[in-house]
Structure 1
Amino acid sequence: MVRPGDWSLLGGSDPCPGSIDDVQAAARTWQDNYNILNEVRSGLASSGITGTGQAVTAIRTLLNRNAALAGAIADRAQTNADVFFTWGGQLTQFQADADRLLTQAIQADEDRQQALALMAASGGGIPTPTLQSPFTQNTQNAPASPFPASTDAGLAGLLEDQAREADRQRGQALLNQAQQHLDDLSRQADELHQAHQDAGNTCAKNLQPLDLAAVTHDSGIDPTIPVGAGALTALLNPGKDPDLKKFDTLHSKINTGNNSARNDYLEQLAKLTPEQLVLYKLWKPEQTRNPLPALPGEDVPSAKKWWQNLNKTIQLALMGAVPGIIGNLNGIPYTTRSKANDALMKELKDDPTTNKNTLTALNVIEDKLVLDNGKRNPDRSIISFDPNNGKPLAALAIGNLDTAGNVTWNVPGMNTTVSDGMESWADSAQDLYKNQTEEFKRLHKDGKNAVVAWIGYDTPPAPPASWGVLFTDAAVKGADKLQVALDGFQDTRGPGNGYTINVAAHSYGTTTSSIALTHTKYPVDTVAFFGSAGIDPDRVPNAAAMHVNHGTDGQPAVYETHSSSDLIAPTGIALSQGALPAELLFSSPINNSVLGNPADLVPREDPTWDRFGGHNFSSEGGYDQNHKIYNHVDGHDANGRGDHRSILYASSGDGYLNIDTESNHNISLITTEQGEKIQALAPLDKNPDGSYDDTKFHDKTHPNGWQPSDWDSGPLGEPNPSTAPPDNGGYRGR
């Protein structure tokens, strides 16, 4: 559009110069650039490059960097397009207003010319316009007319003069009005010019430059890695990054138990750029996939505060980049840890270098996290996962550990691994969880309970593959891990913050947990041992040595049971620490280099012995006063297997934690703080083959229920097996 050339009436120049066509063309160009760059961004982000390894990951990271750069430039192009579109609209309005003022000025100038013409016709010439005509001034002192008023000639002349005077005055008034209008229009033109300049300056400030530093900053990529040439080389050599070198040094210090280095490590971790996190993952994948070394005495409150102070964006970045650290770090909410562990397990499953045992463990966990319909079970989560050099350790929670008012750590015994033990151990935890829930319902309490199937230590294999179960080495190492988990939970939730914490342990798990509970910073509320492989008397001389709160009787709330049909537990106690030659029971000889020197070791003791100072409870089965049947535990297993019991195994449904056993019922009472409500049951009869008959009473002479004294000589009036010396009170089949 061609602008008017003559603006002299409004000050001499166009108050709103500019080409609307050029502005609109610039806006369209920027918009086209945005569309192209946005396609580039989408293409790079969806390149579909899969696989693992340093080179593949580096190339994928490079493409992601370029996608981020293209996106940053595209965003700036869109901003500039919007600026020009906005300026085009504003300029159109400004120029329309300027044209309107010019049209009005031309009309006012025509009015002025007419006024001058009228004044010229009156014979008065063309005066300089003023705001007050000299013809309107006071004429009181003017000289008298020289013409006599009474003569005809004088009268005619007077009338003619008066007419010319009237035309002159009217012309002057019109001239003044036109000039005032022009002056007002000129003022409006000046104001419009200033508004035009201000709007133009604002738009100019909003334009985004495309210099590399600004674009790199906007894209959020690491500025220390070159853009363009050298970028791939930097990505393929992460060890040359000085920040990461310092980072690796800090990590090595943590292994020594240096809490200060641990805190510094976490602080620096949150400051890494997204690219540095990728480089760290490339350079030290084992550090990003494995937990930070967690030693007793770790500074959980500092880790908790560190996490709470991070913004959501950084938290999400760390959960994806270092899932092994976040998924196992005490102080972080357990729901967050679960999400990080989900990411870690997916990463390991997608990695073709992951070993077979780990893949098996991942598949087992995946099966235990879903419902029968294949959907994720909302009540289950993995609160810790440690790759552990191809022998994974994990903890599966049933219930929400962030909100549960009652939490039980369920600690397994020998030969329990994630790959071939989590399935059964999670089922046992589920049975305990279910009976606890029923107890809370019966008490009309909001249970919000949780049970943790904790396979968080390397349990010793079963003999004869290994004889480690006879010694406490694995228990001592596992005790440190359990102590960290128990104290970490309380520090994360807040010590004494309205919850009950319990420990239930089976077989060698009792050896491990008893040691752990002598070192915990905070006490637990109850402990239940079942099928114990024995307690190390040097480390745990009695129940009072463990950090366990006292029950209503003023004694530590420590409970234990040992089924008379469980032959494995007493055998392990008898052979522990090399107390008896193993070849008496096993065909394969074992020399002292394996068993150790019996003279240097003290055999483990059965926690059901009186001198340990705990509370014995029954797992023999029976009927309660309502004639409800509780099954007898007929073997060593926590979760029975098979149709028939054997020396090594309990039958299906008759393990210590199977839902219908007396043992599970009593453990549920203990872990819901009702240990004092455990009642003796009327015993079950025996079949001819020696198995228990759970369909009828053995004796109906106790209408008010059996009392503890009825168990002292055995429910059938038969002596119970004893694995203890004669002076320890005897083993009472509890």
Structure 2
Amino acid sequence: MRRRFTGRWWRGGLAALLTGAVVVPLSGAARPGIPAPAPAVLAPLSAATLEAAYTANRAGAAEASRTAAAHGFRHRAAADRALAAPDRRLLAFDGRGAGLATEVFGDLAHAERIAVLVPGSDTGLDTYDRFRATAVALYQRLTDGRTAVVAWLGYETPGTVSATVATTGRAEEAAPALRALVTALHTISGPGADVSLLCHSYGTVVCARAAPGLDVTDIALIGSPGTGAGSAAGLRTRARIWAARGAGDWVAHVPHVSADLFGTTVGLGTDPVSPAFGARVFAAGPGGHSDYFDPGSRSLTNLARIVRGETAAVSRD
């Protein structure tokens, strides 16, 4: 549903947009890009080339760590060095700028089910550990030996306080990479594997843009500010669409509207947990915006059930 901002929402939204448009470029200019070698050139991904990809990407992370350290970026050097550890399984790695990484938990080549986690704003290699923790928590909750979890930091996420986060532009840029990942996962694990997308915050916008015709069984939208689509049907997918929001999530206060402003559509539209959107709404408990994967939480329990295909067991309240 599209309507124009009015009254205080119009003034407040416009002020936030203009503030973000000014603050973000200036803050970005104050932080020079972190140098790193170009990503490793890999053979097409398959079960046969998987271990070689892991090895090459660990080597790339080690080289990126040395480069970052040589230029005085100690925090990034430490983050890259951790990713280069022998037990890390990196399907992809790019240490340049904010950085990109795709990490696997479990036996991807023999997985019957695969959960892909898609992060929201302010996620990069410098903050990767907190995103990785969500994947670890889910993987530990599944513990069935037949499910792999993929932490996909495969796009440049927007800043939480920015003009970009209120539009679908960054998601439209990211969607082809997410679609390519899903295709690669089916190549590695075989066409019979069930793939679920678990999308958080701005990541829900990315998943919505990638959804049409995508070969996935479930898409879960958690802590979503809106997807840019007016309804679940508007995602044009046969996947089951789920949505949840914790009782303490600040995103509940984001206005679910959209407006044409200076030639750009600002705002992300219908609330995915509203009846108007038409998703399968499930219980997320009392948690806040960053709590959906907390061990023992109702939201994590339900997300694990979705990944396992236990749809009747997903609690609605």
Q: Which amino acid aligns with 2:313?
A: K
Q: Does 1:385 align with 2:93?
A: yes
Q: Which 5+ residue runs of structure 1 have no aligned equivalent?
A: 1-285, 292-323, 371-375, 441-446, 550-556, 580-594, 621-631, 638-654, 681-710, 712-734
Distance 1:596 1:290 in 2: 37
Distance 1:448 1:369 in 2: 25
Q: Does 1:394 align with 2:84?
A: no
Distance 2:160 2:61 in 1: 28
Note the aligned Cα RMSD (angstroms). 2.8
Runs of 4+ in 1 over 4 A off after TM superposition: 352-357, 598-603
Q: Does 1:339 align with 2:55?
A: yes
Aligned to 1:609: 274
Change (3 A) 1:676 1:543: farther
Residue 470 of structure 1: CA displacement?
Answer: 0.8
Q: Does 1:364 align with 2:79?
A: yes
Are the equivalent residues in 1 in contact too, given 2:61–2:84 (CA < 8 A)? no
Aligned to 2:151: 453
- What secondary structure does 1:402 align onto? helix
Distance 2:72 2:224 in 1: 32
Aligned to 2:309: 673
Are the equivalent residues in 1 in contact too, given 2:108–2:188 (CA < 8 A)? no
Change (3 A) 1:354 1:485: farther
Are the equivalent residues in 1 in contact too, given 2:62–2:84 (CA < 8 A)? no
Are the equivalent residues in 2 in contact too, given 1:534–1:573 (CA < 8 A)? no
1:144-543 map, 5 Å: 289-291=37-39, 324-326=40-42, 329-331=44-46, 333-351=49-67, 355-356=71-72, 360-367=75-82, 376-377=86-87, 380-388=88-96, 390-420=97-127, 422-437=128-143, 440=144, 447-463=145-161, 466-496=162-192, 499-518=193-212, 520=214, 523-537=215-229, 541-543=231-233
- What secondary structure does 1:610 align onto? coil
Distance 2:270 2:313 in 1: 27
Residue 416 of structure 1: CA displacement?
Answer: 0.9
Distance 2:265 2:297 in 1: 40
Q: Percent identity between the aligned chains?
A: 23
- What secondary structure does 1:391 align onto? coil
Change (3 A) 1:571 1:472: farther
Distance 1:618 1:326 in 2: 41
Change (3 A) 1:362 1:494: farther
Q: Which amino acid aligns with 1:660?
A: G
Are the equivalent residues in 1 in contact too, given 2:114–2:148 (CA < 8 A)? yes
Q: Which amino acid aligns with 1:617?
A: F
Distance 1:599 1:515 in 2: 17
Residue 502 of structure 1: CA displacement?
Answer: 1.0
Aligned to 1:176: none
Residue 477 of structure 1: CA displacement?
Answer: 0.9
Residue 467 of structure 1: CA displacement?
Answer: 2.3
- C-alpha distance after superposition, 1:293-323 (max 9, x if no partner): xxxxxxxxxxxxxxxxxxxxxxxxxxxxxxx
Residue 368 of structure 1: CA displacement?
Answer: 6.0
Distance 1:346 1:368 in 2: 8
Please give the TM-score of this superposition, normalised by the length of structure 1.
0.36
Are the equivalent residues in 2 in contact too, given 1:398–1:430 (CA < 8 A)? yes
Structure with bigger strand share is 2
Aligned to 2:248: 565
Residue 450 of structure 1: CA displacement?
Answer: 1.3
Residue 501 of structure 1: CA displacement?
Answer: 1.1
Distance 1:596 1:355 in 2: 41
Residue 356 of structure 1: CA displacement?
Answer: 5.0
Residue 535 of structure 1: CA displacement?
Answer: 1.1
Aligned to 1:547: 237
Q: Which 5+ residue runs of structure 2 have no aligned equivalent?
A: 1-34
Change (3 A) 1:573 1:481: farther
Distance 1:423 1:561 in 2: 24
Distance 2:228 2:68 in 1: 43
- What secondary structure does 1:342 align onto? helix
- What secondary structure does 1:611 align onto? coil
Residue 491 of structure 1: CA displacement?
Answer: 2.9
Change (3 A) 1:451 1:330: same
- What secondary structure does 2:126 align onto? helix
Residue 354 of structure 1: CA displacement?
Answer: 6.0
Greater relative contact order: 1 or 2 (C-alpha under 8 angstroms, separation 6 or more)? 2
- What secondary structure does 2:110 align onto? coil
Aligned to 1:298: none
Change (3 A) 1:355 1:532: farther
Change (3 A) 1:365 1:452: farther
Are the equivalent residues in 2 in contact too, given 1:289–1:387 (CA < 8 A)? yes
Q: Which amino acid aligns with 2:176?
A: D
- What secondary structure does 2:62 align onto? helix
- What secondary structure does 1:427 align onto? helix
Larger Rg: 1
Are the equivalent residues in 1 in contact too, given 2:59–2:84 (CA < 8 A)? no
Aligned to 1:183: none
Are the equivalent residues in 2 in contact too, given 1:368–1:426 (CA < 8 A)? no
Change (3 A) 1:356 1:393: farther
- What secondary structure does 1:396 align onto? strand
Aligned to 1:141: none
Q: 1:636 aligns with which of 275, 289, 310?
A: 289
Are the equivalent residues in 1 in contact too, given 2:65–2:81 (CA < 8 A)? no
Please give the TM-score of this superposition, normalised by the length of structure 2.
0.79
Change (3 A) 1:369 1:525: farther
